[in-house]
Structure 1
Amino acid sequence: MEKPYYAVIFTSTRTEGDNGYGEMAYDMEVLAKKEQGFIGIESAREEVGITVSYWETLAAITSWKKNMDHVFAQNKGQKEWYSWYKVRICLVEREYEFNTLTP
């Protein structure tokens, strides 16, 4: 990825049961991938869920936050799916990785 870029870190704890969450999460990922400035996404969930989405600009993040389908999902999340969440927006200036799977 060309640097710098932005990471939106969404950390959350869920309420009990799926209640349509899995399907909506999938739909939001498909929709986000169509947004101008979207770079990628990574997600993991145990007791605490962490989803990090990557964006080219702050304007792209703002546009995604205002997407009407995303606004609907956000509202539903506050009412049904999350007992707590926090969003952090960070500028990524440097990255490195370790990978034994590639030569």
Structure 2
Amino acid sequence: MELLDGHEQWWKAVKPLKSLLERFEQLRESAGIHDWPMNAMRHTAPSHWLNFYQDEAKAALHLGHSPAMLHSHYKALVTRRESEEFFELWR
């Protein structure tokens, strides 16, 4: 790979990570988050999507789940206010 002049020093400092999981673990630790529930991010989106939009068919289509799956795993896990705050992050 050809680098711009003067950037060789920075290239030597770059350490490729083995995986996205390794990068996430480093970021989480550097943020001081030591307790992270398994699948926390994977469960966050469906919970908020279903709660915020109140449309199980649309949520199921968007997330690739059945309405039954949404109800059994994600319904009533978050409050309306939490969902509003979650979607404010995207604005």
What is the TM-score normalised by the length of structure 1? 0.22
Relative contact order (C-alpha < 8 Å, sep 6+): which is higher?
1
Of Structure 1 and Structure 2, which has the larger fraction of its residues in helix?
A: 2
What is the TM-score normalised by the length of structure 2? 0.23
Larger radius of gyration, structure 1 or 2? 2
Of Structure 1 and Structure 2, which has the larger fraction of its residues in strand?
A: 1
